Amino acid sequence: MKIALVQQHAVKEMEDNVARGLAALKEAARASTPRLCAHRR
C-alpha cells in the first residue's frame, strides 16, 4: 500500500499554505498514490 504524507511549514498567509499543500497533494496523486494524508500543525 502506498501512502503519501504531506507535512509543511506554515506562513502567515493562509492562501500560500493552502496552495502549497494542494500542490503537494496533486503531485502525490500524479504519482499514483492511492491514499493521501495531510497533516496540519
Q: Is the pLDDT of residue 41 over 70?
A: no
Helix (H) or strand (E) holding 29: helix 14-30
Question: Where do the domains of the chain lie?
Answer: 3-38
Distance, CA of 19 to CA of 6 (rounded, Å): 13
For residue 2, the model assigns a pLDDT of 73
What is the per-residue pLDDT across 19-31, written as a single tens digit (0 to 9) for each? 998 898 888 888 8
Q: Where are the beta strands (DSSP E) in 1-41?
A: 3-6, 35-38
Distance, CA of 29 to CA of 41 (rounded, Å): 22
The pTM of the whole model exceeds 0.85: no
